[in-house]
Chain A
């Protein structure tokens, strides 16, 4: 018995749905890599926490690619996922990085340069970088074409969502530069 055209279409649709379900069930590829260079490391055998001190340089590569410099970095490690769960850097802290394509950004990436006096925290889960004490943050959309957006934030605390390209802060002063297309002169 040859399957009818409608039956063939139904079978094809079913296979497509099944394939989509299998793909959706796959875990997201884990490509985040990180290295931390420092003068010293103290590892607490009971708690598993690692604290690095002296000329700390955190280099991360993944959803955000960049470096963080501080005098002290405490790292909580997600040993199941083999990655940094979160870290706290003691100031002065500087951060320089480029985010992956931001949500709703039409393929745009954002270059982020930040610094603070007291401390900074970064959570891998939330992808939020918080700068505390005399915080400064500058963002520029990449590539720098005619739609480039530049912004500078200075405040007491600044939190930047690297996934959503969203800034929150306290006592913040904002400077923004948004390029606009020149209108053609009226005839």
Chain B
């Protein structure tokens, strides 16, 4: 203890303070954005802890990265699985997920599948928005719709998209400026400069993600 001088103590104290500051800063950053959503703004303090199970308004249930919404009869209306980060905002009643595989059901049967880079479900508005590399598949995978973004209305059960939209089936491609899929009648309406082009020898549509078939209820 003979060699301990006051400046030694001051140096040790400053090192400890620095380390504590670093740890607190890292902890604060994790609190602000633990899921690490790329490009997402800082999350409000209302966000629910990551990885939990929650029942939210609008018959929406979140169990880990799986999100499910049921209809009035308790049947699964749609379900989604986030391959990337996801976030549940309890106050804003919003679920945001990245690299999503989404599946729509009609009377317990699979009807449509969506692959999207980002999904935002607004529980109060009753909408599910898709974007970033969006692909919409029919259940059998033989027809694929393409758009830059789309919006599913859970009450009307319609999926709409604006901008360049395409439909690929077998060897033909239909292109237009608007798309509306009625998930009750299972009809797709395309409008605005529609062109249906047949391409001899073109490849079949890609298979749907995660296979087909299956019932839910």
Contacts and interface: CB of A to CB of B under 8 A. Distances in A.
Interface of A: 30-46, 48, 50, 52, 75, 77, 79-84
B200 A79 contact: no
A34 to B, nearest CB: 5
- Please classify how large the interface on chain B is, using the bins under 10, 10 to 19, 20 to 34, 35 or more: 20 to 34
Contacts of B187: 42-45
A42 B188 contact: yes
Majority secondary structure of chain A interface residues (helix, strand, loop or mixed): strand
B170 A79 contact: yes
Given A45-B143, A50-B174, A82-B172, A40 B201 contact: no
B189 A41 contact: yes
Interface of B: 138, 142-143, 167, 169-172, 174, 176, 181, 186-202, 204
Contact of B170 (A30, A33, A38, A77): A77
A124 to B, nearest CB: 11
B200 A44 contact: no
Given A37-B195, A82-B201, 9 more contacts: A35-B196, A41-B191, A41-B194, A43-B187, A43-B188, A50-B174, A77-B172, A77-B198, A80-B170
A38 B194 CA distance: 5
Nearest to A34: B198
Contacts of B142: 48, 79
B135 to A, nearest CB: 15
B174 A43 contact: yes
A36 B192 CA distance: 13
Contacts of A83: 171, 198, 200
A45 B138 contact: yes
A71 B44 CA distance: 54
A135 to B, nearest CB: 26
A26 to B, nearest CB: 15
Contact of A52 (B169, B171, B196): B196
Given A44-B186, A45-B186, A48-B169, A82 B198 contact: yes
Contacts of A45: 138, 143, 181, 186-188
A125 B188 CA distance: 28
B83 to A, nearest CB: 26
B174 A41 contact: yes
A82 B171 contact: yes
A187 to B, nearest CB: 60
A32 B200 contact: yes
A83 B170 CA distance: 9
A68 B144 CA distance: 28
Nearest to B202: A82
A40 B197 CA distance: 14
Given A30-B200, A34-B198, A82-B199, A40 B138 contact: no
- Most chain-A Cβ atoms within 10 A of its Cβ — which of B181, B189, B198, B200? B198
Contacts of B198: 32-35, 77, 82-84
A36 B196 contact: yes
Contacts of B194: 36-41, 52
A46 B171 CA distance: 18
Contacts of A31: 200
Contact of A43 (B190, B202, B204): B190
6 contacts: A36-B197, A45-B187, A48-B169, A77-B170, A77-B172, A79-B204
Closest 3 A-B residue pairs measured CB to CB? A82-B171, A79-B170, A36-B196
Nearest to B173: A35
B196 A41 contact: yes
Contacts of A42: 187-190
